[in-house]
Structure 1
Amino acid sequence: MSVFRLSKIFLSLALLPLSGHAQAVVKAPEAEGSLAEAVELELPEIVIEGKAESLIGIATSASKGQTSAKELMARPFSRRGELLESIPGFIATQHSGDGKANQYYLRGTNLDHGTDFAIYVDGMPVNLRNHAHGQGYADTNFIIPELVGELEYWKGTYYAQHGDLSSTGAARFKLVDALPQGILSTTWGEYDYTRTLIADTIQAGAGQLTVALEHQYYNGPWELPSDATRLNGFLRWHWENAKDKINLTLMGYHGKWRSTDQVPLRAMESGLVGRYGNLDPTDGGNSQRYSLSFDWVRNEGRTTTRANAYAGFYDLDLFSNFTFYMDSFARGDTLGDQFEQRDHRWFLGGELARDWRFDALGQEQRFTLGVQLRTDIITGLGLYNTAQRQRWNTVREDDITQSTYGLYAEAELKPARWLRIIPGVRGDVFQFNVEKSNLPENAGSLTKGIVSPKLSMVFGPWAKTEFYVNAGMGFHSNDARGVNITTDPNTGLPADRVNPLVRTYGAEFGIRNESIPKLVNTLSFWMLHSDSELIYTGDAGTTEPGAASMRKGIELSSYWRPEDWVMVDVEATLTDAHLVNTDPPNQKIPNSIPYTLNAGITLGGAQGLFGSLRARYFAPRPLDSVVDVKTRESLQVNARLGYRKNNWEVAVDCLNLLNRSDYDVAYYYASQLKSDAAPVDGVHVHPIEPRMFRLSVTWRF
């Protein structure tokens, strides 16, 4: 082959859009010919990883997407829950200690610590039903960021494979099968921040064994040092051949911390407590999670079989005080309002699914059938009154066994080249079993089922543009304790049972456009109705069922990669959220964020200088459905600057670059300080942390 012939092929490749991880393979032509002929016969396969990847012909909604490992690790972040902020419109904050699950917001919904947003790690669900601190609690602290290969996300009720707690959306952390290089990384930062990670993959028999160990310590800017310690371990054995891929994974996490919880804004403004001060220095907790999971994928001809199984142990002991002395003074004592929430459980489950692909009507069609099982065995699920972490009263203590069974089916039908129709349906059966309670009348069992149809239609592509229409029914489950309750454990009075399964309805119209080279744009208009809104109650630190709700919104995302070393992204959302069937009507939903903006630029290649600048904004939001109270806006800018050479990398992160004094969370409820003659309704806040710097050094071996 002549040099001139080679130069023409490489020139054709240079004109194609490539990402930072783009890979191209060109088979050399066996005979001389024109450049057009070479390009036509030997066009290389271009793989663009992450948000700029083309999903034309793949995605079934405009809001479906994914983020690559490279994009995730380019984001400067203070908490690993912020990895989820790569989902357009997603906000992750915190209202107390670093060991707890983050506070999540998406599509005008205060998701608390995970309610109505399903999170998975490979095939294992993270959300915990009947949790001591809130339904659907999803703590991601056991995930090691460097071991995430991809984050895949969905929004809405239109996907048959997603069931409980997924009405707003779902995300799946896909962990790496194996590491291409070992990693030794250490980070030092202000306020006694240290983090060390060592990870590597070695040959182990016929497969590969990946081992990782992470340790993190942080005191934070708080007047009460948080003494937050985290230890994570990871062990994965991976094996694959031409048909099968198997992962056997063991993960472990242990953390402990002291909390600076939200405080009344009036106390901060009066000088009673400093911006980073606290009103109960004994708040805090400890948590641990251990799991063993098995994932298997077989590709055989035109069928794909996926199976996973998992089992694990989880434990949480959490001490909080949100009302300080309000209940204490009402009782006539000065013990304070601290309470302990205790969760101790085993969980196990799995999924088996198969895809069949076949030809009909001149197109390839697909049919998927799957079954999902899960059981949680919870002992000593407790709520206790405490003073300085010492129990003095048991409010409620229960043993719960809850099992769920899900069956789903979905087809992707292509009656024409420009039309895809994706009907789906899932059925779920729940067994709510409170086996034992400290109030015997609150024990009981109930079996309930629900069927959720789905439908999506995709039109196009025309000029590299697709149009999507999606609709579907979803649901969320309520706590088994509320499903079976007869007596209020606080008052001793009769209590109303809650609806075990709450129906939700969603719809979306969207557009995906890739007609401009190296630029991906998506636009979606969506709505979500819930028969019963789960509303966060700040004085109890939990969510409670409320009135029905309606949300509508617009989302716009743009991802531009003009060069393989440049990535620019802009994500904006606008949401209207209100309660329905209330008096007065059209009440706002507390903590529903009306609009958000997330934007950033990332620069750099495999060697040399690199950097990232990101901004996250969310607007003032209502804090109460009746009282016209709003919290201030929040703007956080984070930056990274670093240098790579050979296998070494040095980077400096600046978090809260503008050193703004915004709030991570704000709630409106009643509390009483020692100096208050009576309970006071007011705003309670937890501030964002001040500007800080962190230095990381990484060696890949």
Structure 2
Amino acid sequence: MNLLKRILFIQLLTISTTFAHLGTIVGKITDSKTKQPIRGANIVLTGLNRGAISDDAGYFQINNLSPAPYNVEVSFMGYLAQAQAVIVKADEASVINFILTSTEVSLEEVKVSAANPQHQQVISNIDIKLRNINNSQEVLRIIPGVVIGQHAGGGKAEQIFLRGFDIDHGTDIRLTVDGMPINMVSHAHGQGYADAHFIIPELIDGVDFKKGLYDADKGNFSTAGWANFRTKSVLDQNFVKAEAGQFNTYRLVGGANILLKKAQDKNQNAYLAGEYNYSDAYFDVPQHFKRLNLLGKYHGHLSANTNLTFTASTFWSKWNASGQIPDRAVADGSIGFFGAIDPNEGGETNRTNLNAQFVTLTKRNHVWKNQFYYANYNFELYSNFTFFLEDPINGDQIKQKEARNLWGYNSNYSIAHGIGQKQATFNIGVNYRHDLTNDSELSHTQNRSELLEAIKLGDINEANLGIYADENIQLSNKLTATVGVRFDYFHNQYLDHLQTNTKSKAQASILSPKLNLYYTQNNKLQLYLNLGKGFHSNDTRVVVAQNGLDILPPAYGADFGTNWKPFPKVLINAAYWYLWLQQEFVYVGDAGVVEPSGQSVRSGFDVSVRYQLTRNLFADFDANWAKPRAVGEAEGQNFLPLAVKFTSIGGLTLKNKNGFSGSLRYRYVGDRPANEDSSIVAKGYFVTDALLSYTKSRYTLGLNIQNLFNTRWKETQFATESRLKDESQPVEEIHFTPGTPFNARAFLQIQF
């Protein structure tokens, strides 16, 4: 026994001696022009499969290195690669900084790396740098597989479809901007309502996204995936842009840095930006759509190791809408394809945001991020989906209205460390969000002005606390793993003003483990397996009705895919995925009722291809197949209504810094069932868009054309039972909002 103890002691002494007196490389990567940190840059040690990825503040760290000289290479798409030599000393942190210079985009620069598990993010970065983004809708379409549709006059949040989900306006996709939530819990119109129109497209610096429920730091709404829009911390140039087009459409947007160069040289930056839109649109009843966005942003150092980013913005929008019209009314000539049954639909909304983000590099080279945010939000919408079905005299117009305050706090503490000679990063964090909604209303109205009946009216108090931890570790030169777990707790309260102010409360919690594995054969081929548990969240009005039982039904998902560069200028991402949901209690905001949907299963295949044909010509192709089904229903009666089965987008993009640029792009959505037995079918569409621009150092002149070939298509479709004023019996059929016809807009942008 004593001999065994001695052997164990000698082994432990040998191990501790082997890994003692190791060193660390710590660095930061910044843009030479803006002086801002570059996130997502790929850092490798020449000749070794050791590396890291720069974080949101541009920092990176490589641990447990034997004392020796090393060559550190840094690359990032759109920048010239750079290498520096550094000598690592025992028990010390060797500091090295990189200042990268921008250059033309080249797919040859994209490397498949074991240190970079963000396989889908590479696609997004390419698209952001190549495509001209003209509106908030185009921003969402950057995510491969996302289909969106507008059906209420341009001011309402888009309908979203992804991975066999009809996500409605955001129920199963988590959308944020600079880490601040876009989705609205327990919204008057529907759970997860996500109006992203307060984002000014020209200010977008990048989009982080991932499909599936595999990230421990992402909780509510992330069943099908998540996306975070990052706005610029500093403007490359001041700019003013004016647009004018068909259907009495006008847009003016601009932004300017407001601090002097002396302050900018000290890493203090601030800018102001604004946007105004007006359009009557292509409907027979003019939209009179108006939207105003204002934003101010500051980014600078509070101390040598702490950065502050503070954003304040406000948004206001008002519009009329033609709504969804029935096929039969168009077929018999009662109205035109762009007509309306109830011309009094429309709405008004506004949102004001405050967002403060702190990033601190501690003395131990740990990164601590803290975020505080607040939003004041107001919403009022008038709709009529069934016309005269419920009220043959006054019609079925409804009003949905709410006033909301929400605030929250996010914190993440990140420790880059080593396990043996293996690179690892440990994250621990907390998310807290609290929503207080006053007078959430569903009413029966007429002509927007007359209240006929109050259907729902109450105050909503909803809080969500999430705690998570994950460990990312390079298990070998080729295998990387991320293991995480998340705990979510919800507290819900509803004060019903129509039931003598009856107050109902409920609470629930859920634990969600995650596992992500990445096998990198070389810098051209990576395989990955993602496994995770999440949940489908529910409206407070559902939660209290269920007394808190079964209101966080679990969801289980898996992705098996590859990130592959068969040739230097070709990048392919492909994945097979599977998702199972136990239950969904859906609060139907348009009717004020709760509908259980039962178990569901979805599976499918995604593929994305990016190909650089020449130095300036790029091709892209995305195709997404899905098989969504209800579990426990008879075959042929188990379709999930409106879930998209097949979609594809792609096109050609010509990108020149000074000279002609342009793109020719298509969008295709296949036919899909509109009800459970597919007796009613929502027809697909194929639409082509084009963009041509000419750029010089101080200005850009361009022409943007939607629906180049003037295809007649239906942007959103629903199987709805309705009755027109002269009908004795209701009819269930497709009701739709028409997509834009040929629509040309010219623009001029001046940089200074």
**TM-score, structure 1 as length reference:** 0.89
Shifted more, 440-449 versus 264-273: the winner is 440-449
Cα deviation for residue 585 of structure 1 reads 7.0
Q: Does 2:256 correspond to 1:200?
A: yes
Q: Does 2:173 correspond to 1:117?
A: yes
Match among 347, 351, 368 for residue 427 of structure 2: 368
Q: Does 2:266 correspond to 1:215?
A: no
Q: Does 2:641 correspond to 1:590?
A: yes
Q: Does 2:566 correspond to 1:566?
A: no
Q: Which position in structure 1 is the counterpart of 2:743?
A: 692
Shifted more, 47-56 versus 233-242: the winner is 47-56
Q: Which position in structure 2 is the counterpart of 1:445?
A: 505
Q: Which position in structure 2 is the counterpart of 1:10?
A: none
Structure 1 segment 496-515 matched on structure 2, within 5 A: 499-515=550-566
Q: Partner letter of residue 599 of structure 1?
A: G
Q: Does 2:582 correspond to 1:531?
A: yes
Q: 1:499 to 1:228 in 2, by over 3 A?
A: farther
Shifted more, 180-189 versus 514-523: the winner is 514-523
Q: Distance in 2 between matches of 1:428 and 1:497?
A: 14
Write out per-residue CA displacement over residues 250-273 of structure 1, whole angstroms, 9 at most, x where no aligned residue. 010000000110111111111111
Q: Distance in 2 between matches of 1:409 and 1:100?
A: 36
Match among 372, 378, 381 for residue 309 of structure 1: 372
Q: Does 2:545 correspond to 1:485?
A: yes
- Contact 1:323-1:337 at 8 Å conserved across structures: yes
Match among 339, 350, 356 for residue 277 of structure 1: 339
Q: Distance in 2 between matches of 1:559 and 1:435?
A: 52
Q: Which position in structure 2 is the counterpart of 1:616?
A: 667
Structure 1 segment 235-314 matched on structure 2, within 5 A: 235-240=296-301, 243-300=305-362, 302-314=365-377
Q: Does 2:225 correspond to 1:169?
A: yes
- Contact 1:526-1:552 at 8 Å conserved across structures: yes
Q: Partner letter of residue 160 of structure 2?
A: Y
- Contact 2:133-2:201 at 8 Å conserved across structures: no
SS in 2 for 1:681: strand
- Contact 1:580-1:586 at 8 Å conserved across structures: no
- Contact 1:519-1:560 at 8 Å conserved across structures: yes
Q: Which position in structure 2 is the counterpart of 1:191?
A: 247
Q: Distance in 2 between matches of 1:99 and 1:556?
A: 32
Q: Partner letter of residue 534 of structure 2?
A: G
Q: 1:539 to 1:672 in 2, by over 3 A?
A: farther
Cα deviation for residue 502 of structure 1 reads 2.1
Write out per-residue CA displacement over residues 228-285 of structure 1, whole angstroms, 9 at most, x where no aligned residue. 0000000011103763321110010000000110111111111111111101111100
Match among 137, 144, 147 for residue 81 of structure 1: 137
Q: Distance in 1 between matches of 2:626 and 2:605?
A: 7
Cα deviation for residue 65 of structure 1 reads 4.4
Write out per-residue CA displacement over residues 103-153 of structure 1, whole angstroms, 9 at most, x where no aligned residue. 111111111111110001011010000001110000001000011100111
SS in 1 for 2:128: helix
Write out per-residue CA displacement over residues 430-482 of structure 1, whole angstroms, 9 at most, x where no aligned residue. 00111343224863011111100111111123362111111110112111112
Q: Partner letter of residue 373 of structure 1?
A: Y
Q: 1:482 to 1:72 in 2, by over 3 A?
A: farther
Cα deviation for residue 76 of structure 1 reads 6.0
Q: Does 2:200 correspond to 1:144?
A: yes
Cα deviation for residue 658 of structure 1 reads 1.4
Q: Partner letter of residue 441 of structure 2?
A: G
Number of equivalenced pairs: 658
Match among 439, 450, 455 for residue 515 of structure 2: 455
Q: 1:47 to 1:440 in 2, by over 3 A?
A: farther
- Contact 2:78-2:102 at 8 Å conserved across structures: no
Q: Distance in 2 between matches of 1:17 and 1:485?
A: 55
Cα deviation for residue 583 of structure 1 reads 4.5
Q: 1:164 to 1:355 in 2, by over 3 A?
A: same
SS in 2 for 1:477: coil
Q: Distance in 2 between matches of 1:437 and 1:570?
A: 52
Q: Distance in 2 between matches of 1:168 and 1:136?
A: 13
Q: Which position in structure 2 is the counterpart of 1:341?
A: 400
Cα deviation for residue 209 of structure 1 reads 1.4
Match among 394, 416, 423 for residue 476 of structure 2: 416
Q: Distance in 1 between matches of 2:424 and 2:550?
A: 39
Q: Distance in 2 between matches of 1:666 and 1:182?
A: 41
SS in 1 for 2:718: strand
Q: Which position in structure 2 is the counterpart of 1:662?
A: 713
- Contact 1:437-1:443 at 8 Å conserved across structures: no
Q: Which position in structure 2 is the counterpart of 1:6?
A: none
Q: Does 2:711 correspond to 1:653?
A: no
Q: 1:582 to 1:64 in 2, by over 3 A?
A: farther
Q: 1:633 to 1:351 in 2, by over 3 A?
A: same
Q: Distance in 2 between matches of 1:462 and 1:185?
A: 44
Match among 63, 71, 75 for residue 128 of structure 2: 71
Q: 1:249 to 1:429 in 2, by over 3 A?
A: same
Q: Which position in structure 2 is the counterpart of 1:581?
A: 632
Match among 140, 143, 148 for residue 92 of structure 1: 148
Once the two structures are aligned, what percentage of the paired residues are identical?
A: 29
Q: Distance in 2 between matches of 1:244 and 1:565?
A: 39
- Contact 1:50-1:67 at 8 Å conserved across structures: no
Q: Which position in structure 1 is the counterpart of 2:676?
A: 625
SS in 2 for 1:71: helix
Write out per-residue CA displacement over residues 26-69 of structure 1, whole angstroms, 9 at most, x where no aligned residue. 789xxxxxxxxxxxxx9x99988799844532443654545349
Cα deviation for residue 307 of structure 1 reads 1.2
Q: 1:544 to 1:211 in 2, by over 3 A?
A: farther
Q: 1:340 to 1:623 in 2, by over 3 A?
A: same
Q: Partner letter of residue 374 of structure 2?
A: A
Q: Which position in structure 1 is the counterpart of 2:238?
A: 182
Q: Distance in 1 between matches of 2:204 and 2:593?
A: 30
- Contact 1:384-1:396 at 8 Å conserved across structures: yes
Write out per-residue CA displacement over residues 485-538 of structure 1, whole angstroms, 9 at most, x where no aligned residue. 38xxxxxxxxx9874212111001011112421221111000111112477979
Shifted more, 50-59 versus 668-677: the winner is 50-59
Q: Which position in structure 1 is the counterpart of 2:79?
A: 22
Q: 1:84 to 1:59 in 2, by over 3 A?
A: farther
Q: Distance in 2 between matches of 1:507 and 1:590?
A: 23
SS in 1 for 2:217: coil
SS in 1 for 2:715: strand
Cα deviation for residue 545 of structure 1 reads 3.7
Cα deviation for residue 566 of structure 1 reads 2.5
Q: Distance in 1 between matches of 2:106 and 2:397?
A: 45
Q: Distance in 1 between matches of 2:632 and 2:549?
A: 18
Q: Which position in structure 2 is the counterpart of 1:377?
A: 436
- Contact 2:133-2:139 at 8 Å conserved across structures: no
Structure 1 segment 376-395 matched on structure 2, within 5 A: 376-389=435-448, 390-395=450-455
- Contact 1:20-1:564 at 8 Å conserved across structures: no
SS in 2 for 1:445: strand
- Contact 1:112-1:543 at 8 Å conserved across structures: no
Q: 1:321 to 1:193 in 2, by over 3 A?
A: same
- Contact 1:539-1:671 at 8 Å conserved across structures: no
Shifted more, 102-111 versus 538-547: the winner is 538-547
Q: Which position in structure 2 is the counterpart of 1:490?
A: none
Q: Partner letter of residue 128 of structure 2?
A: E
- Contact 1:662-1:687 at 8 Å conserved across structures: yes
Write out per-residue CA displacement over residues 582-641 of structure 1, whole angstroms, 9 at most, x where no aligned residue. 256761111111111110211122101111111111100110013422121111111011
SS in 2 for 1:277: coil
Match among 652, 655, 665 for residue 601 of structure 1: 652
Q: Distance in 2 between matches of 1:342 and 1:196?
A: 29
